[in-house]
Amino acid sequence: MAPLRDVRATRATDTGVDLTGYVVHVCVGTGTGKKQQNFQIHSSVIMPRSGYFRALLGNNYGEENKTKIDLPDENPETFSLYMQLIYNNNIVLVDDSEADDIKYGSEYLALAKLFVLAERLQDVATKDLVLETILTKAQSIWSDGERRFPGWKYVKIIYEGTWLNKTTPEKVWHPEFLYDLASNLMRRRKQPEGSIIFECKASAYHEM
């Protein structure tokens, strides 16, 4: 017999999704098939989270305008995850039946892309949640008894897709200067006690 399910929630566990707003039609991606998909989202859900949508919808749009927003440069699959998160406060990244090696890459990849999307949509709360999830994943012990940290591939996606890459000065620094700078910083930096990634608080990574 299947276990009984209970849909009740308390004030503490209620996600507090406000469905009273008008519906915003969002077209994500370009092309045909899965390369371009249409989404419907409540203004009362997206505006408190996204500064980008808040700026678009705040003054110039309304229910009577049949609001439609195009995001041609974004990925529909990543936007679908974003929708899951802001409505349900959780996301399904992979199938539980998949092997650890597959989960490792696909989860980090999805999280990196989701972080970049949240940056572009100016959603700090989602960025903080994604970083917490990455930290939790990095702290987890896999079936082989090992931990797996995000590799350079996934760090690069975040770096190249966010403001960190946009603030790089036009001047190209000489490699020897950068090497000397890094070496001196390593020598002068106080050696942390313990293993920081396993002991740090999630709030240390928060932007808010």
The pLDDT tens digits for 61-101 are 555 455 889 999 999 999 999 999 999 888 877 655 555 55
The answer to whether 39 and 29 have CB atoms below 8 angstroms apart is: no
- pLDDT at position 125 is 93
With contact defined as beta carbons under 8 Å apart, do 16 and 27 qualify? Answer: no
Tell me the C-alpha distance between 16 and 88, whole Å: 10
The rounded Cα 84 to chain-centroid distance in angstroms is 12
Find the helix or strand (DSSP H, E) in which 78 lies: helix 76-88
| Residue that has been written with the tokens 């915003």 in this structure | 24
User: What integer pLDDT is reported at residue 76 of this predicted model?
Assistant: 95
Q: Where are the domains of the chain?
A: 20-73, 97-205
DSSP β-ladder status, 68-71 and 23-29: parallel
CB atoms within 10 A of CB 129: 22
Predicted local distance difference test score (pLDDT) of residue 50 = 95
pLDDT at position 189 is: 56
22-48 exposure pattern, b = at least 16 Cβ within 10 A, e = fewer: eebebbbbeeeeeeeeebebbbebbbe
What pLDDT shows up at residue 64? 47
What's the CA gap between 126 and 79, in Å, rounded?
Answer: 12
**pLDDT value for 206:** 76
Report helix, strand or coil for 163. helix
For residue 108, count other CB atoms closer than 10 A to its CB. 23
pLDDT tens-place values along the chain, 208 residues long:
667 766 666 665 556 788 888 899 999 998 887 889 999 999 999 999 999 999 988 865 555 455 889 999 999 999 999 999 999 888 877 655 555 556 667 888 999 999 999 999 999 999 999 988 888 888 877 777 777 788 888 888 888 887 655 544 555 566 777 677 777 766 665 555 555 666 667 677 777 5
